[in-house]
């Protein structure tokens, strides 16, 4: 008798490396879907920027895998620079924004394409575009792999979006939690208990009685 096909969730969970399986609830965007979508984004960007002096500004460190794959899909001369911005610290809620690496290249007169991993509240990209606009580029646009639109505070839209995703904390494909999981080749969902561990149970009446004894 032929084996029945496993349900999709179970099939996707099998792709998670065994050592990280206990931390992940599942795969949200498999590797093949990422590559297919990035190829289409590359085509759209190439159409819009043909013949222009393009400077790609990538935000460290979450863009590392997305940037590498996107750049391979941009078949025209361009420059790449990196801006270090940190907003999350070691938790999952937006904290204060810190610039920890400045641009090296001259932005003035260039057509700047800012590349980020995920657009959440919009605070990071708003601050970054303001900072770069002050350096007088010829134009500035933004490109993100993921967009959590429901989390936006105020209005901010990216010009190029890979995937709109629900309000889940995701890791993998460059995205981290406490600097881990960046090397996963897919976008996965972290189990809430990993980033919000349950508090230790308070001693109940039984243990109170025991310690009083
Ligand atoms: P925003 O300033 O738009 O609130 O946050 C943007 C930054 O927060 C992203 O560049 C990313 O570093 C981080 N971030 C937002 N949501 C997530 C998420 O679901 N997973 C991870 N790993 N980082 C996130
Ligand atoms: Mg980021």
Return d(Cα 73, Cα 90) in angstroms, integer.
32
pLDDT digits (tens, 9 = 90+) for 64-100: 999 999 999 999 999 999 999 986 555 566 668 889 9
pLDDT digits (tens, 9 = 90+) for 26-70: 999 999 999 999 999 999 999 999 999 999 999 999 999 999 999
pLDDT digits (tens, 9 = 90+) for 165-196: 999 999 999 999 999 999 999 999 999 899 88
Residue 80's DSSP bridge partners are 56
The top-scoring range by mean pLDDT among 2-11, 61-70, 204-213 is 61-70
Probe residue for ligand 1, chosen from 83, 115, 118 as the CB with the greatest number of ligand atoms within 8 Å: 118
Cis peptide leading into residue 86 (ω within 30°): no
Burial of 110 (0-12, 13-18, 19+ CB in 10 A): buried
Report whether 182 contacts 174 (CB < 8 A).
yes
Which residue, by CA, sits nearest to atom 19 of ligand 1? 169
Full set of structural domains in the chain with CATH: 30-167 (3.40.50.2020)
- Token digits of residue 95: 């904290």
Smallest Cα–Cα separation from 183: which of 174, 192, 195?
Answer: 174
- Token digits of residue 49: 């920027």
Probe residue for ligand 1, chosen from 28, 91, 99, 117 as the CB with the greatest number of ligand atoms within 8 Å: 117
Residues with CB under 6 A from ligand 1: 62, 87-88, 94, 116-124, 169-171, 175-177
How far is ligand 2, taken at its centre, from the CA of residue 3, in Å? 43
Which residue, by CA, sits nearest to atom 10 of ligand 1? 118
pLDDT at 22: 84
In 151-209, where do the E strands start and end? 160-164, 170-171, 187-190
């Amino acid at each position: 008798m032929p084996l029945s096909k496993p349900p999709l969730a179970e099939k996707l969970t099998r792709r998670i490396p065994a050592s990280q399986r206990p931390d992940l609830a599942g795969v949200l965007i498999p590797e093949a879907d990422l590559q297919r979508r990035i190829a289409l984004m590359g085509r759209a960007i190439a159409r819009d920027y043909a013949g222009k002096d393009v400077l790609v500004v990538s935000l460290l460190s979450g863009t590392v895998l997305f940037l590498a794959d996107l750049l391979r899909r941009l078949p025209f001369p361009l420059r790449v620079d990196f801006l270090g911005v940190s907003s999350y610290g070691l938790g999952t809620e937006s904290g204060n924004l810190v610039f920890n690496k400045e641009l090296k290249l001259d932005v003035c007169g260039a057509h700047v394409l800012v590349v980020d991993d995920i657009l959440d509240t919009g605070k990071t990209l708003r601050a970054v575009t303001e900072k770069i606009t002050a350096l007088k580029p010829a134009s500035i646009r933004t490109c993100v792999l993921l967009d959590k639109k429901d989390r936006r505070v105020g209005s901010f839209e990216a010009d190029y979006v890979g995937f709109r995703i629900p309000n889940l904390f995701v890791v993998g494909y460059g995205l981290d939690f406490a600097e881990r999981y960046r090397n996963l080749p897919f976008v996965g969902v972290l189990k809430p208990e990993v980033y919000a561990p349950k508090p230790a149970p308070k001693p109940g009446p039984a243990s109170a009685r025991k310690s009083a004894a």
